[in-house]
Amino acid sequence: MTTPSFAGQPAEPGTLWGTVTAVQANYYSVSLDGLVSFGETLDSVADIPPTLLCTRRARLKKVGQQVMVGDRVQVEDPDWEGRRGAIAAVSQRQTQLDRPPVANANQILLVFAVAEPDLDVHQLTRFLVKAELTGLDICLCLNKCDLLEADAQATWQARLRRWGYAPVMISVKQSLGLPTLADALKNRITVVSGPSGVGKSSLINRLIPAAELRVSAVSGKLGRGRHTTRHVELFELLTGGLLADTPGFNQPDIACAPQALGECFPEIRERLQNHRCQFTDCLHRAEPGCAVSSDWERYPDYLQLLDNCVTQTQLAHDSADPEAAFKIKITDDGQIQHEPRLSPKKYRRVSRRSRKQSLEDLRYELTDSIDNLEALEEEDIDIDF
Ligand code: GDP
Ligand code: ZN
């Protein structure tokens, strides 16, 4: 079994490299690359286990080098019988996602269903924009095609192509379109995303062989369940490539600089390929000399999301200047309005969603602290060189 060299790390002869597939406390599961250069020094390449449970060298800890799932790492002192090793170096990350925490991911697999639940184009747009904001490639996949006639499926495909996406149409239930999807996941690190009920878990279980038997060496060792919010694990696909087993963002809040939002719409990117707006900071709201017309389906969604981004940016700006009596609001038609600042109490009233988010953040931090404590405890048995 080989793991492709995702980050393009050129391995020196005699060095052992692999990809971290799971992390818990200070233990790391490392799926090793092809072991050709080691084969010469051992009886048989086939005897070498593909995954080693590793600790992190003390010198990496000292310089604060964290190790994440997806990291490309160099492993030293392999103990083939005990299937242990030590991580000696971490390759520079090509990409880094925070939720779920995954390094070197190449793409987001965005799963929606054509029915049950009905496909909500506004919700789809939010998920697409959120995925675009990561800067990773997007593979859009529409599941439950068994519930829709062929011509209705074709209508969806044509509509989404006009948005700039080429959806892979599948049915997990009837095993339709799965080889095409597997092809899109080949030799890449993929993180799954999408709303609940669309069939993400069903799909992940189908794509990862012997899904029901999946127990990681790491969580097995520590006697813990896999499915905590923070922990993510990468699983090897039969066709090559790795898939994160934890779905990514579920309720996307779009928060970005207003200028960055246009980049998240293929329709805008396409229109700006050959034409430029008159103003370099144009937000494409019918400003004079704007090269982005309004004659595309998702233009109203763009305007609405833009409005949110402008307001949020303004709120962030205002909170940095608590003395200001007025705040500036940019209206839909681009006019600047001065509004009295809300009283701090009212202004700070926390929505249910942000309260939930804060609780989640707190949980993340607590889990982190527990991990760190465990890491400290286990330092005693950690062999440092
Ligand atoms: P998740 O919340 O996105 O992880 O969705 P699940 O995998 O839990 O699936 C939600 C429901 O959709 C379950 O009842 C599945 O059996 C069903 N489901 C999943 N894939 C398909 C499919 O291709 N066709 C149909 N008709 N139902 C599906
Ligand atoms: Zn413009």
Residue pair 94/225 in contact (Cβ under 8 Å)? The answer is no
Domain ranges of the chain: 16-92, 102-245, 258-320
Which segments within the chain are labelled E, that is strand?
16-24, 27-32, 51-56, 72-79, 84-90, 96-97, 102-103, 107-113, 137-143, 168-169, 189-193, 234-236, 242-244, 326-330, 336-340
Domain 16-92: CATH class, spelled out: mainly beta
Q: Compute the distance from residue 164 Cα to the ligand 2 centre, in Å.
A: 19
Tokens, residue 115: 């029915």
* Strand, coil or helix: 55: strand
**Is the beta carbon of 188 within 6 A of some atom in ligand 1?**
no
Q: Whose CA is closest to 300, among 253, 265, 328?
A: 265
Q: Compute the distance from residue 195 Cα to the ligand 1 centre, in Å.
A: 11
| DSSP 8-state class, residue 336 | E
User: Which pLDDT does position 224 carry in this prediction?
Assistant: 43
Residue type, position 349, single letter:
R
State the ligand closest to the CA atom of 306: 2
CATH of domain 102-245: 3.40.50.300
User: Which pLDDT does position 208 carry in this prediction?
Assistant: 86
Residue 131 — φ and ψ, nearest 5°?
-65, -40
Residue pair 10/62 in contact (Cβ under 8 Å)? The answer is no
**Is the beta carbon of 202 within 6 A of some atom in ligand 1?**
yes
Long-range contacts of 145-149 (CB under 8 A, 24+ apart): 145/114, 145/169, 145/170, 145/171, 145/174, 145/176, 145/177, 146/171, 146/173, 146/174, 146/176, 147/113, 147/114, 147/115, 147/116, 148/114, 148/115
Identify any residues that bridge with 167 across adjacent strands, giving them in sequence order: none
User: Which pLDDT does position 331 carry in this prediction?
Assistant: 52
Q: How far apart are CA 50 and CA 48, in angstroms?
A: 6
**Is the beta carbon of 143 within 6 A of some atom in ligand 1?**
yes
Beta strand 137-143 with 107-113 is parallel
User: Which pLDDT does position 315 carry in this prediction?
Assistant: 83
**Is the beta carbon of 171 within 6 A of some atom in ligand 1?**
yes
Apex 99 CA angle, 97 and 105, nearest 5: 35
Beta strand 96-97 with 51-56 is unpaired
Separation in Å, CA 154 to CA 82, 150, 165, 332: 54, 6, 13, 35
User: Which pLDDT does position 304 carry in this prediction?
Assistant: 96
Collect all residues with Cβ–Cβ distance below 8 Å to 81 and sequence separation of at least 6. none
Which residue CA neighbors atom 7 of ligand 1 most closely? 199
Tokens, residue 279: 């103003």
| DSSP 8-state class, residue 77 | E
| DSSP 8-state class, residue 289 | T
User: Which pLDDT does position 252 carry in this prediction?
Assistant: 74
Tokens, residue 159: 């509509």
Q: How far apart are CA 334 and CA 346, in angstroms?
A: 26
For the chain of 385 residues, list the mean pLDDT of each consecutive stretch of 10.
43 82 92 63 55 95 94 94 95 93 96 97 96 96 98 98 98 97 95 94 85 48 45 86 80 86 97 95 96 96 96 82 55 52 46 58 55 47 33
**Is the beta carbon of 148 within 6 A of some atom in ligand 1?**
no
Q: Compute the distance from residue 41 Cα to the ligand 2 centre, in Å.
A: 62
**Is the beta carbon of 169 within 6 A of some atom in ligand 1?**
no
* Atom in ligand 1 nearest the alpha carbon of residue 204: 7
Identify any residues that bridge with 51 across adjacent strands, giving them in sequence order: 31
Which residue CA neighbors atom 26 of ligand 1 most closely? 144
**Is the beta carbon of 200 within 6 A of some atom in ligand 1?**
yes
**Is the beta carbon of 199 within 6 A of some atom in ligand 1?**
yes
